[in-house]
């Protein structure tokens, strides 16, 4: 299980979207794979959102520190 701060977007998608993500200690994971894992509850600090019909992983809001996927 990865915390949101250990997931980083790799970009490469249309309009800056992430086609893949790097998870600390695990390596590169496709967008589709990470979305499946988030839906299964494997990444508790992350949720799925849909933009233009495409699902992406996004960190849950955290007011303690900036730990967005692309930060």
What residue ranges do the domains of the chain occupy?
4-59
Residue found under tokens 């809001």: 61
What gap in Å lies between CA 7 and CA 45, rounded to an integer?
A: 10
What gap in Å lies between CA 28 and CA 31, rounded to an integer?
A: 10
Q: Would you state the pLDDT for residue 28?
A: 96
Residue found under tokens 């933009």: 51
* pLDDT digit string (tens) for the chain, length 71 residues: 555 568 888 988 877 789 999 999 999 999 999 999 999 999 988 999 999 899 999 988 776 665 556 65
Predicted TM-score (pTM) of the model is: 0.80
Terminal alpha carbon distance of the chain: 19
């Amino acid at each position: 299980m990865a915390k949101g701060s250990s997931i980083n977007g790799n970009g490469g998608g249309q309009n800056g979207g992430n086609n893949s993500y790097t998870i600390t200690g695990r390596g590169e994971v496709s967008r589709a794979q990470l979305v499946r894992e988030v839906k299964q509850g494997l990444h508790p600090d992350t949720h799925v959102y849909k933009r233009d019909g495409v699902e992406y992983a996004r960190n849950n809001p955290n007011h303690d520190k900036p730990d967005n996927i692309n930060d």
